Amino acid sequence: MERPAWAPQGIDITVPSVSRIYDYYLGGSHNFEVDREAARRAMAHLPGLPKIMQANRAFMRRAVRYAVSEGVTQFLDIGSGIPTFGSVHEVARALAPEARVLYVDHDPVAVAHSEAVLEGDPLAGVVAADLRKPAEILRAHAFRALIDTERPVALLLVAVLHFIEDSEDPAAAVAELLDALAPGSVLILTHAAYEHIPSRQDASGVVGVYRDIRKPLVMRTAEEIAGFFAGTELVDPGLVPMAEWRPEQGPGEEAEPYANSGYAGVGRKA
């Protein structure tokens, strides 16, 4: 089987990865046939998946710009994925060249590619760690070197919490991370949901594909997702379909029915 130079040694390229499937939806090239096959099966149920992912990235960029406009120039992006066009450090630095960014992912390809992209960058780094173990993130050398917890931080949990099942208590992980951050920090979050997806039945098919590859995709209700913001105050317009969060685009995005799948919100820690 193919093993390109960018694939870290030791990874099992016969098992699909959430990170590489997402890379494929976004038109990236860091994926294997096993990932593409899973992505194609999911897209057979819901052809708009790439549109949903593009809307997710567009929200993320708007929210990063919002954070900078509020004076937040430190970013902790957990479940950051394989770097693609318009990453957090690029978007933030367009407005604040001094912005510091720490990426965290548990996927070896995401980590290796982030390392390559960030090589020689003193104000950005990547840690291989798991969102379900926040203490390991908080005591990582790169975290302590890059992030000043006395000043506000933007914590990004973008399209990642829906990969953590209730039995693993994702809300406790979010709370532990927020607890470590200074007042004025912001939580930037998106999450998959059945509401607003053009076809609920087709979305169930996608959930089935992820179940089959043993990477459960947990759809949550708006109320459940709002619970992740405990300890913060949602900024306007609150928790809303992704394309409705402070849209700044020209024509197109809002007209795209899939762009409103999933919820997005930003909460500010008092």
Which of residues 162 and 268 has its CB atom nearest to ligand SAM in the complex? 162
Q: Return the range that interacts with ligand SAM (CB under 6 A); candidates 75-83, 221-229, 232-240, 248-256.
A: 75-83
The 90-109 site mask, x for binding ligand SAM (CB under 6 A), equals: ---------------xxx--
Which of residues 15 and 233 has its CB atom nearest to ligand SAM in the complex? 15
The 113-152 site mask, x for binding ligand SAM (CB under 6 A), equals: -----------------xxx--------------------
Q: Which of 22, 24, 75, 229 binds ligand SAM (CB under 6 A)?
A: 22
Beta carbon of residue 270, minimum distance to ligand SAM (angstroms, whole number): 25
DSSP the chain: ----TTSPTT--TTS--HHHHHHHHTT-S---HHHHHHHHHHHHH-TTHHHHHHHHHHHHHHHHHHHHHTT--EEEEET--S--SS-HHHHHHHH-TT-EEEEEES-HHHHHHHHHHHTT-TTEEEEE--TT-HHHHHT-HHHHHH--TTS--EEEEES-GGGS-GGG-HHHHHHHHHHTSPTT-EEEEEE--STT-S-HHHHHHHHHHHHHTT-------HHHHHGGGTTEEEPTT-SEEGGGSS----TTTTT-GGGG-SEEEEEEE-
Q: Which of 154, 159, 177, 259 binds ligand SAM (CB under 6 A)?
A: 159
Beta carbon of residue 21, minimum distance to ligand SAM (angstroms, whole number): 8
Which of residues 133 and 233 has its CB atom nearest to ligand SAM in the complex? 133
Which of residues 39 and 160 has its CB atom nearest to ligand SAM in the complex? 160
Beta carbon of residue 249, minimum distance to ligand SAM (angstroms, whole number): 17
Pairing of the two strands 124-128 and 232-234: unpaired
Nearest to 199 by CA among 64, 66, 47, 77: 47
Beta carbon of residue 164, minimum distance to ligand SAM (angstroms, whole number): 6
The 33-72 site mask, x for binding ligand SAM (CB under 6 A), equals: -----------------------xx--x------------
Cα dihedral 54, 246, 101, 138, rounded to 10, equals -100
Question: Does the protein bind ligand SAM through residue 163 (CB under 6 A)?
Answer: yes
Which of residues 15 and 71 has its CB atom nearest to ligand SAM in the complex? 15
CB neighbours of residue 40 within 10 Å? 12
Residues that bind ligand SAM (CB under 6 A): 18-19, 22, 56-57, 60, 78-81, 105-107, 110, 130-132, 158-160, 163-164
